[in-house]
Chains A and B, each alone.
Chain A
């Protein structure tokens, strides 16, 4: 992918910038789709029609929303800390976008093929926490501050089990590189982590061979549990229902971005949706084979068209990611909100002990079986 861009534009800075901006193109299109998805799915779940007037079946409603946000007055509260108030939305989006650097969209496209991909993904999430704090503090508003503090407490707590789930998969594959984790799950869908990982030896990108056989079926219940727990922590880290306590409309107006309007609100909105796709894509990468086709074959290979393979892989990752985003939206209109004490109980007394338990058993089995 990078070499293709280089051959088109030459080896210069422009190539590099374009290469880094590709996920942004995807992100903008995805955000439009997700806005429409959110209103339409909620409408169907409540037996309504949703927006119907803008375009056929309300299909250009997200564009109208964007246009509205663009022309809104940019209000900064008089008592707000102007500098930090204006900085926070950009920092928040920057944090969300920085994490996209290590997401492999196909076997040919990954922003930075880091050896430490999984660790980097965990670390960069903490930048978003700082941005939320900044927004909540700078707004000088009690709702914003409470929203920010709840949000930060929640994200910091749920980072622990989320990290443990990543560690479980990393333990099994023996690599922190997300591309390696995906390669380990290549082949038909029963090689995915959620079904117990690969059933035959696979060669990783580094040249190392990951020994595997059908005895890996013992990992099936462990990885299935790990997947469910990772998905729960993902919901909490993106502040989505049933963990939307930081934004609880009925108590806090809308949490840390209460005072934001216009484009700055849109930035927070974008970073929230980017984070939603991010955790969904990572769920797909860790447990559902990432860009691997569930059938183990690609149309591009059959028709002898290599360029198609990359596109197909991107399609599969996008499909899996969007499916999990759909589930997040689905849950929002299905489950009620938890209380704060239930949230903390869930994290510290349920998820963390179980995640440590699974990590211990997986570590033990990896040593015994290899």
Chain B
């Protein structure tokens, strides 16, 4: 019962703030609405017993990506003094692309055989298992992702120095 109420609280938070991200006139409002979307998604992860992913969500998306976004918006507006507004242009191609993406998602959604979990297994934290999998079965993708990020950091530092 409480879980259902909590689920709806987080679901409304996620979807509501996601709408605000899309429809806000000012870009800074969009960016800050994204904060609540990320929080809501983290809450949903907790309800799904994915505790590590939930905390990683807060750490990476709120602590990293959101801050970067807001920084970008703030610097552009205050330095160049240009009011950044969201507006609609090239509506037709956008509609086509988004419509295709939506169609694909719906088709996949319908075709997938969803697994029905009747009893939720008592999960005592997923960190240990995740860590083991990352360093045994999935060690190659894990390392490749790490190297990719390292190269990205070096590239960013190089560009910033120019």
Interface residues of A (CB under 8 A from B): 81, 84, 114-116, 119-120, 122-127, 129-130, 133-134, 137, 145, 149, 152, 156, 159, 176
**Bound Cα distance from A126 to B35, whole angstroms:** 11
Contact A156 B74 (CB under 8 A): no
**Bound Cα distance from A130 to B32, whole angstroms:** 8
Number of A-B contacts (CB under 8 A): 63
Q: By DSSP majority rule, is chain A's interface helix, strand, loop, or mixed?
A: helix
A149 — which chain B residues lie within 8 A by C-beta? 71, 74
Contact B74 A116 (CB under 8 A): no
Contact B28 A152 (CB under 8 A): no
**Bound Cα distance from A129 to B64, whole angstroms:** 10
**Bound Cα distance from A94 to B48, whole angstroms:** 24
B64 — which chain A residues lie within 8 A by C-beta? 126
Interface residues of B (CB under 8 A from A): 28-29, 32, 35, 51-52, 55-56, 58-59, 62-64, 66-67, 70-71, 74, 78, 124-125, 127
A120 — which chain B residues lie within 8 A by C-beta? 55
**Bound Cα distance from A149 to B66, whole angstroms:** 14
Write the chain B residue with the least CB distance to A127.
B62
B28 — which chain A residues lie within 8 A by C-beta? 81, 84, 137
Contact B32 A126 (CB under 8 A): no
Write the chain A residue with the least CB distance to B35.
A130
- Which of B29, B66, B74, B125 interacts with A130 by CB under 8 Å? B66
**Bound Cα distance from A119 to B64, whole angstroms:** 15
B55 — which chain A residues lie within 8 A by C-beta? 116, 119-120, 123
B52 — which chain A residues lie within 8 A by C-beta? 116, 119
Contact A114 B71 (CB under 8 A): no
Q: By DSSP majority rule, is chain B's interface helix, strand, loop, or mixed?
A: helix
Contact A133 B67 (CB under 8 A): yes
Write the chain B residue with the least CB distance to A136.
B74
**Bound Cα distance from A364 to B30, whole angstroms:** 46
Write the chain B residue with the least CB distance to A98.
B58
B29 — which chain A residues lie within 8 A by C-beta? 84
Q: Which 3 A-B pairs have the closest CB atoms?
A: A126-B63, A115-B125, A123-B59
B74 — which chain A residues lie within 8 A by C-beta? 133, 137, 145, 149
Contact A116 B127 (CB under 8 A): yes
Given contacts A114-B51, A115-B125, A133-B74, are A152 and B62 in contact (CB under 8 A)? no
Given contacts A81-B28, A116-B125, A176-B127, 11 further A-B contacts (CB under 8 A): A84-B28, A84-B29, A84-B32, A115-B127, A116-B52, A116-B127, A125-B63, A126-B58, A126-B62, A130-B70, A159-B63
Chain A to chain B contacts (Cβ below 8 Å), 25 pairs: A115-B124, A115-B127, A116-B51, A116-B52, A116-B127, A119-B52, A119-B56, A119-B127, A123-B56, A123-B62, A125-B63, A126-B64, A126-B67, A129-B63, A130-B32, A130-B35, A130-B62, A130-B67, A130-B70, A133-B70, A137-B70, A137-B74, A145-B78, A152-B67, A159-B63
**Bound Cα distance from A12 to B59, whole angstroms:** 32
Contact B124 A152 (CB under 8 A): no
Give, as a whole number of angstroms, the nearest-CB distance from B124 to chain A. 7
Contact A126 B59 (CB under 8 A): yes
Given contacts A129-B63, A129-B67, A130-B66, are A123 and B58 in contact (CB under 8 A)? yes
**Bound Cα distance from A343 to B125, whole angstroms:** 38
Give, as a whole number of angstroms, the nearest-CB distance from A147 to chain B. 13
Contact A127 B58 (CB under 8 A): yes
Write the chain B residue with the least CB distance to A137.
B74
Write the chain A residue with the least CB distance to B63.
A126
Given contacts A84-B32, A114-B51, A130-B35, are A119 and B59 in contact (CB under 8 A)? yes
**Bound Cα distance from A116 to B32, whole angstroms:** 26
**Bound Cα distance from A307 to B93, whole angstroms:** 70
Give, as a whole number of angstroms, the nearest-CB distance from B24 to chain A. 11
